[in-house]
Amino acid sequence: MDKNRNWVSIESEGDEKYAKELEVAVKAVHVACLLCQKVQQNLIFNGDEDSVQSKDDSSPVTIADWSVQATVSWILSQAFGTENVSIVAEEDIESLSKSDASSILSSVVKTVNEALSSAARFGIKPPVTHLQTTQVLQAISRCNSRGGPTGRFWVLDPVDGTLGFVRGDQYAIALALVENGEVVLGVLGCPNYPMNKEWLNYQNGYRRILSSLTKPDPAGWDSNGCVLYAKKGSKKAWMQPLVNGDKGIGSASQIKVSTIDNPVLATFCEPVEKANSSHLFTQGLAHSVGLRNQPLRVYSMVKYAAIARGDAEIFMKFARAGYKEKIWDHAAGVVIIEEAGGIVTDAGGRPLDFSKGMYLYGLDRGIIACAGPSLHQKIMTAVDASWNSSCL
Quick check: 160 and 301 in contact, CB under 8 A? yes
Question: What CA–CA distances, in Å, run from 260 to 101, 222, 314?
Answer: 50, 26, 10
Of 62, 71, 111, 162, the active-site residue reads 162
Q: What is the DSSP letter of 176?
A: E
Please report how many Cα atoms fall inside a 13 Å half-sphere around the Cα of residue 110, on the Cβ side: 10
Q: Binding site for Mg(2+), residues?
A: 90, 157, 160, 329
To the query of whether residue 162 is one of the catalytic residues in this protein, the response is: yes
Length of the chain: 392
State whether residue 365 is helix, strand or coil: coil
The C-alpha angle 188, 241, 126, rounded to 5 degrees, equals 75
Residues linked to residue 345 through DSSP beta bridges, in sequence order: 368
Quick check: 251 and 240 in contact, CB under 8 A? yes
Rounded Cα distance, 263 and 261, in Å? 6
Rounded Cα distance, 138 and 313, in Å? 41
Q: Binding site, residues?
A: 90, 157, 160, 329
Rounded Cα distance, 385 and 318, in Å? 15
Residue type, 318: F
Cβ burial of 246 (10 Å; 0-12, 13-18, 19+) is: exposed
Of 65, 169, 311, 346, the active-site residue reads 65
Please report how many Cα atoms fall inside a 13 Å half-sphere around the Cα of residue 262, on the Cβ side: 4
Could you report how far apart the first and last alpha carbons of the chain are, in Å?
55
To the query of whether residue 364 is one of the catalytic residues in this protein, the response is: no
The pairing of beta strand 343-346 with beta strand 314-317 = unpaired
Alpha helices by DSSP H, the chain: 6-11, 19-46, 63-80, 102-117, 133-141, 162-166, 204-213, 279-288, 302-309, 331-339, 373-387
Q: What is the DSSP letter of 232?
A: T
Q: Which residues are catalytic?
A: 65, 162
